[in-house]
Chains A and B, each alone.
Chain A
Amino acid sequence: GQSLEQPSEVTAVEGAIVQINCTYQTSGFYGLSWYQQHDGGAPTFLSYNALDGLEETGRFSSFLSRSDSYGYLLLQELQMKDSASYFCAVRASGGSYIPTFGRGTSLIVHP
């Protein structure tokens, strides 16, 4: 099976940079995804890493180190609207390819 660890809560101020870490254990690794979920809403896809390194999409970047079983989501120039929960999800190679989600990190952005 797979397991993921991420912090339960992170706080930051508007305009700052915040990093949300995710460590995982899996018997075979295919890729790591990140999703954002606002209160009362559905998860929406942010990014995906299958190879080591940094993927950048606007203010958001995601990093993966396969050798360390570790990834992070980096949010720059934080805005109040970035207050949400962020989930990492791992897809294991072989089997169903169904992602397993972490418990989520609640990001609170203060003015």
Chain B
Amino acid sequence: NAGVTQTPKFQVLKTGQSMTLQCAQDMNHEYMSWYRQDPGMGLRLIHYSVGAGITDQGEVPNGYNVSRSTTEDFPLRLLSAAPSQTSVYFCASWGGGADTQYFGPGTRLTVL
């Protein structure tokens, strides 16, 4: 199993550009989530999904959209990038009855 994969690993955008961060898992997990990590701020939840077709907002959802058309994929879309969205983005998944979240390797995004 590949676990949780994320692409790209690094990305530089200009203010106003849009892009999609990809996340996929091959463990048939129901739950998936997106976090951003900024220095000294820990992991903050952006959006999450409890199953295909079901998504909800987390702590910091503004400027981001998600969809969950399949169990495996959970892409995160930046609609109009802003410098405040410069961060490291982690995708995670886990089975609903389990206690362990599995994290992808992260995407390091810089918005100029």
Interface residues of A (CB under 8 A from B): 8, 31, 33, 35, 41-45, 48, 50, 87, 89, 91, 96-104
A65: min CB distance to chain B, Å: 18
User: In the bound complex, do residue A42 and residue B105 qualify as a contact, i.e. CB atoms below 8 Å apart?
Assistant: yes
Smallest CB separation, B50 vs chain A (Å): 7
Given contacts A42-B106, A43-B90, contact A87 B43 (CB under 8 A): yes
User: Of all chain A residues, which has the CB nearest B103?
Assistant: A42
When distances are taken between beta carbons in the complex, the residues of chain B under 8 Å from A44 are 103
B-side contacts of A91, CB under 8 Å: 99
A45/B100 contact (C-beta < 8 A), A96-B48, A96-B50, A98-B58 known: yes
Cβ of B2 within 8 Å of any chain A Cβ, yes or no, is: no
Q: Would you call A98 and B33 a contact (CB within 8 A)?
A: yes
Instruction: List chain B positions with a Cβ less than 8 A from chain A.
Output: 31, 33, 35, 40-45, 48, 50, 56, 58-59, 90, 96, 99-106
Residue of A nearest to B50 (CB): A96
Please state if B104 and A103 are interface contacts (CB–CB under 8 Å). no
Known: A43-B43, A101-B42, A103-B40. A31 touches B48 (CB 8 A): no
- In the bound assembly, the distance between CA atoms of A35 and B102 in angstroms comes to 10
Partner of A97, one of B40, B58, B96: B96
Partner of B45, one of A100, A103, A104: A100
29 contacts between A and B (CB under 8 A): A8-B40, A33-B99, A33-B101, A35-B101, A41-B105, A42-B90, A42-B103, A43-B43, A43-B90, A43-B103, A45-B99, A45-B100, A45-B101, A50-B99, A91-B99, A96-B50, A96-B56, A97-B96, A98-B45, A98-B48, A98-B58, A100-B59, A101-B35, A101-B42, A101-B43, A102-B42, A103-B40, A103-B42, A104-B42
B42 A87 Cβ-Cβ under 8 A: yes
**Chain A contacts for B58, CB-based, 8 A:** 98
> Are B105's CB and A103's CB within 8 A?
no
With contact pairs A42-B90, A42-B104 given, residues A103 and B99 touching in the complex (Cβ less than 8 Å): no
